[in-house]
């Protein structure tokens, strides 16, 4: 049986781990929040009280952590202890250069590695409908593919080292821009005395259709249930979106890409965080821009 170590059991990691346990994988889990770890023990999780508790014959090490510096610290603590060809898979969202550096560290120790950030949020993690954007080798991807299928509905090997993170940067920059546009369209419609439900019915099936409308509509009681129906309790917080935009804009700068809308989106989210609204779901940017919160 494939032995997996999962490091980082927060909102996403705990749900991803739950799906692995339901599929009868042997999973050892580690998180600084021991209460989360204890909550997963009844469904089969083996608890690691420290990184040193993770057994060296582990086949796959998955990380889901807040930022690249923390991921690097974990890798530096672990890569010397594992058997060669152990697979390291980072599902965190970190910058492309950091991801490439981590791949090089693994390669130097004859370990396999993938960068595999996800899209789909907490709901996707819980329902096993995540999309994995993967960078690395075909060999490593084939080993991980059955595990990806347990945790998500789609995975794609986007290219070599760092390609997963590069794809995630493009995706989330587009998501931030489109969510702001969705908010502006609904705000205009409401100010024009349109029924928001009827406007949704048109926008969701016309040329303006997009995920931010169809699956995550930021207007209360419009479309499928979303954070807007729960006072913008986050599935994906504004602070995390700002982090991802900062990663994307770093790549924009390093490649001399022109992205004025991405830069403006970053500016808008920065203002939201400065106004102490970073704990809200990122879709609340649509209301924040309308000065309603």
- Give the per-residue pLDDT at 291: 65
- Give the per-residue pLDDT at 293: 45
Active site residues: 168
pLDDT tens readout for residues 154-177: 999 999 999 999 999 999 999 999
pLDDT at 83 over 90: no
- Give the per-residue pLDDT at 289: 82
Report residue 88: phi and psi, to 5°.
-100, 125
Closest to 187 measured CA to CA, from 223, 231, 218, 233: 218
Q: How many residues does the chain have?
A: 293
Question: How far is the C-alpha of 29 from the C-alpha of 15, rounded, in Å?
Answer: 12
pLDDT at 179 over 50: yes
DSSP one-letter code for 237 = B
- Average pLDDT, integer, range 209-235: 95
Question: How far is the C-alpha of 221 from the C-alpha of 230, rounded, in Å?
Answer: 10
pLDDT tens readout for residues 239-292: 999 999 999 999 999 999 999 999 999 999 999 999 999 999 999 999 988 764
Assess whether the region 3-160 and the region 166-288 belong to the same CATH fold.
no
Question: How far is the C-alpha of 45 from the C-alpha of 79, rounded, in Å?
Answer: 22
pLDDT tens readout for residues 182-204: 999 999 999 999 999 999 999 99
List the domain boundaries for the chain: 3-160, 166-288
Displacement of CA 8 from its chain's centroid (Å): 13
- Give the per-residue pLDDT at 102: 98
With H, G, I as helix, E, B as strand and everything else as coil, classify residue 247. helix
Assign a CATH topology to domain 3-160. Rossmann fold (3.40.50)
**Is the Cα torsion angle 215, 216, 221, 222 positive or negative in sign?**
negative
pTM of the full predicted structure?
0.92
Burial string for 230-250 (b: 16+ CB within 10 Å, else e) reads eebebbbbbbbbbbbbebbbe
| Contact in structure between 245 and 90 (CB atoms under 8 Å) | no
Taking domain 166-288, whether its CATH number is 1.10.1040.10 is answered by yes
């Amino acid at each position: 049986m494939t032995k997996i170590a999962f490091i980082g059991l927060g909102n996403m990691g705990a749900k991803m781990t739950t799906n692995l346990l339901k599929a009868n994988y042997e999973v050892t889990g580690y998180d600084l929040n021991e209460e989360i770890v204890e909550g997963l023990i009844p469904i089969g999780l083996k608890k690691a009280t420290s990184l040193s508790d993770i057994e060296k014959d582990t086949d796959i090490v998955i990380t889901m952590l807040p930022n690249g510096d923390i991921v690097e610290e974990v890798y530096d603590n672990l890569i010397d202890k594992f058997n060669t060809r152990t697979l390291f898979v980072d599902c965190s969202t970190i910058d492309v250069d950091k991801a490439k550096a981590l791949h090089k560290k693994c390669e130097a120790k004859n370990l396999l590695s993938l960068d595999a950030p996800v899209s789909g949020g907490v709901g996707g993690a819980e329902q096993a409908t995540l999309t994995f954007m993967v960078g690395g080798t075909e060999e490593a991807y084939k080993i991980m593919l059955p595990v990806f299928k347990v945790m998500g509905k789609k995975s794609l090997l986007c290219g070599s080292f760092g390609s997963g993170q590069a794809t995630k940067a493009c995706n989330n920059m587009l998501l931030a821009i489109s969510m702001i546009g969705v908010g502006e369209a609904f705000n205009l419609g409401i100010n024009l005395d349109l029924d928001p439900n009827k406007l949704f019915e048109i926008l969701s099936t016309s040329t303006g259709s997009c995920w931010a409308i169809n699956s995550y509509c930021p207007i209360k009681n419009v479309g499928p249930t979303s954070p807007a129906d729960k006072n913008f309790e986050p599935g994906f917080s504004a602070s995390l979106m700002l982090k991802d935009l900062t990663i994307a804009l770093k790549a924009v700068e390093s490649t001399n890409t022109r992205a004025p809308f991405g830069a403006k989106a970053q500016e808008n989210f920065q203002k939201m965080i400065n106004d102490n609204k970073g704990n809200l779901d990122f879709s609340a940017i649509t209301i924040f821009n309308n000065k309603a919160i």
